[in-house]
A and B are shown apart, each in its own frame.
Chain A
Amino acid sequence: NAGVMQNPRHLVRRRGQEARLRCSPMKGHSHVYWYRQLPEEGLKFMVYLQKENIIDESGMPKERFSAEFPKEGPSILRIQQVVRGDSAAYFCASSPNRISGVNYGYTFGSGTRLTVV
């Protein structure tokens, strides 16, 4: 049973380009979460999605960032017109349907390290 798969592992983009980060959740998991980790800092929540729905995007920057989790295929975090400040590690996590309100923690992927040059 493969874990949460993120690709690419490393991504280099020039300023102004687009970055697309992919996340395939664990088999049977229908909830996906994206977090960003700046160097020497903890993870910061960005967005929580279920299939075809954005549940909580309170941590997403208002511009240039978007996320989707289509009915088929991986979840995608898209960053348009990247800037140097977008350089960070982006982590995806997934969880199955839960008993309402209970948080058991979730399974993280190994992250995508985005470098903007």
Chain B
Amino acid sequence: AQTVTQSQPEMSVQEAETVTLSCTYDTSESDYYLFWYKQPPSRQMILVIRQEAYKQQNATENRFSVNFQKAAKSFSLKISDSQLGDAAMYFCASSLQGAQKLVFGQGTRLTINP
């Protein structure tokens, strides 16, 4: 069975600085996908970044990047130049190759201090 663990219930960062959110997962499969979703107070889930497990290169999307360590089953999210609009719950998720179901972690609440 897949599991996803986010060990940081809350994080805070000063505006314009960099913050890293942690995520570990467990799966016996070799092919899978990893995601970070953002949930602002509006409640809508927004896809931030996606990583394919067979790709060694870390995914990046503008100020968002990941550190994917397959052997350690770690998938952290780095947010550079934090902005007030980045304040939200962040969820790490995984899915297996061939499956559309996502397994989510418990979430990390990110606060941006002005």
B97 to A, closest residue via Cβ? A101
Q: How far is the CA of A110 from the CA of B91 in the complex (A)?
A: 15
**Residue interface bits B20-55, CB-to-A below 8 A is 1, else 0:** 000000000000010101000011111100100000
Q: With A42-B106, A43-B91 as known contacts, state yes or no: A31 contacts B45, CB within 8 Å.
A: no
Query: What bracket does the count of chain A residues touching chain B fall in?
Result: 20 to 34
Q: What is the minimal beta-carbon distance from A48 to any residue of chain B, in angstroms? A: 6
Contacts of B43 in A (CB 8 A): 89, 110-111, 113
- Asked whether B103 is an interface residue with its Cβ less than 8 Å from the other chain, the reply is yes
Q: How far is the CA of A109 from the CA of B39 in the complex (A)?
A: 11
Contact (Cβ within 8 A) B102 A45: yes
- Asked whether A1 is an interface residue with its Cβ less than 8 Å from the other chain, the reply is no
Contacts of B46 in A (CB 8 A): 108
Contact (Cβ within 8 A) A41 B42: no
Q: Which residues of B contact A (CB under 8 A)?
A: 4, 6, 33, 35, 37, 42-47, 50, 91, 93, 95, 97-107
